[in-house]
Amino acid sequence: MTTPRSTYRGRFAPSPTGPLHFGSLVAAAGSFLDAKARDGEWHLRMEDVDAPRCSMAAATEILRALEAFGFAWDGEVIWQSRRTDIYAAALDQLKAAGRVFPCACTRRELADSAIAPDGAAIYPGTCRDGLPAGRGARAWRVRVKDACITFEDAIQGRIVSDLAREAGDFILFRADGVFAYQLAVVVDDAEAGITHVVRGADLLTSTSRQIFLQHCLGVSTPSYAHLPVVINAAGEKLSKQTHAVPVDISRPVPMLFAALEFLGQRPPQELSGASVHELMAWATAHWQLDQVVRGPALPGGQNPAG
């Protein structure tokens, strides 16, 4: 193994379910600039663990768009779809430590459960002490017990989560045979030695679960900074589902300029006529994390560059 040149290791981890849009550009820019302004590394991970929802075409398009916008990543791109053995080993470690249990419950059986803030059912504990007679394991869940997680987010401030109330025993291995996002992210961030996670505030509720899993697996916890999420005029997060407009790779400067402004940075107007590399160089040299608005979401146009 080579020794990292710097102590800061950041990452951007898009799910290739569709093309890059203004919201994902903001997350890419925030994580990239925070890393590069601190002379750090910025790694790229394709979160394609949920293969049926992802496509190689979308992944290729994201890579092309990132290049066009002047993002250069360190090392090889990591593909989650090629790492299931590593996730299986982590789950085995948790099985051996008695931290997880098999669950036979179907979605329908859980339909009456309380709902977590992120919309998922809070597990009522049916299989926690053993599978009901005659039932087989469908999924694997982690035992949350009374875990309370507190962390300092570099943008959003102190976050306190009562995991039993907010998430319950959450899934690590799904009934459809796919490792859950929460497990994959924790394993990947730990293995890549990620020290700083900068991403959208829609993932704040996941962060407490991920810190809990880091404790279960005995790996270190990175620093977190959650950027406000870009919402459209209807108040919805920009995404494929809300028909966010893909970034225009033939004209990257206006959208990158808008992404910097969304992040509270103030690029001088004359840079709107500069090259994308000049704009990125300015943004790296002038990046100020404390200018990013503290809050879960902020409006940003579907295509603010017009």
Least separation in angstroms between residue 11's CB and ligand GLU is 7
Q: Which of 10, 19, 43, 47 binds ligand GLU (CB under 6 A)?
A: 47
Residues 220, 66: Cα–Cα separation, whole Å: 29
Q: Does 16 bind ligand GLU (CB under 6 A)?
A: no
CB 301 to ligand GLU: min, Å:
20
Distance between CA atoms of residues 198 and 11, nearest Å: 8
Smallest gap from Cβ 13 to ligand GLU, in A, equals: 4
Of 8-16, 69-77, 121-129, 276-284, the segment contacting ligand GLU by CB under 6 A is 8-16
Helix intervals (H) in 111-203: 163-166, 181-191
We find the least distance from the C-beta atom of residue 205 to ligand GLU, in angstroms, to be 12
- The answer to whether residue 201 forms part of the interface with ligand GLU (CB under 6 A) is no
DSSP label at residue 305: T
Quick one: 126 or 206, whose CB is closer to ligand GLU?
206
User: Which of 35, 103 has the CB closer to ligand GLU?
Assistant: 35
Rounded to a whole number of angstroms, the minimum distance from the CB of residue 16 to ligand GLU is 9
14 near ligand GLU (CB under 6 A) = yes
- C-alpha pair distances (Å), 155 with each of 87, 291, 306: 30, 9, 29
Q: Which of 8, 15, 40, 170 binds ligand GLU (CB under 6 A)?
A: 15
User: Does residue 13 touch ligand GLU according to CB under 6 A?
Assistant: yes
| Shortest reach from residue 274's CB to ligand GLU, in Å | 29
* 18 counts as binding ligand GLU under rule CB under 6 A: no
E strand or H helix that includes residue 281:
helix 276-286
CB of 212: closest distance to ligand GLU in angstroms? 15
Per DSSP, helices labelled H in 38-159 are 56-68, 84-96
* DSSP reduced 3-state for 44: strand
48 lies in the site for ligand GLU, by CB under 6 A? no
Closest to 192 measured CA to CA, from 184, 200, 181 = 184
Determine the interface stretch with ligand GLU among 10-18, 67-75, 138-146, 267-275 (rule: CB under 6 A): 10-18
- Binding residues for ligand GLU restricted to 153-192, rule: CB under 6 A: 185
CA distance 198 to 225: 5
CA gap 39, 43 in Å, rounded: 13
Q: Which amino acid is at 173?
A: F
C-alpha angle 169/96/122, rounded to 5°?
5
Q: Alpha helix (H) ranges present in 142-251?
A: 163-166, 181-191, 204-217
Contact pattern for ligand GLU over residues 214 through 243, marking x by CB under 6 A: ------------------------------
d(CA 63, CA 68): 9
Q: CA 147 from chain center: how many Å?
A: 22
Residue 196 touches ligand GLU, criterion: CB under 6 A: no
Stretch of 7-15, 124-132, 147-155, 211-219 contacting ligand GLU, by CB under 6 A: 7-15
Other C-beta atoms within 10 Å of 190: how many? 18
**Interacting residues with ligand GLU (CB under 6 A):** 13-15, 47, 185, 199, 203
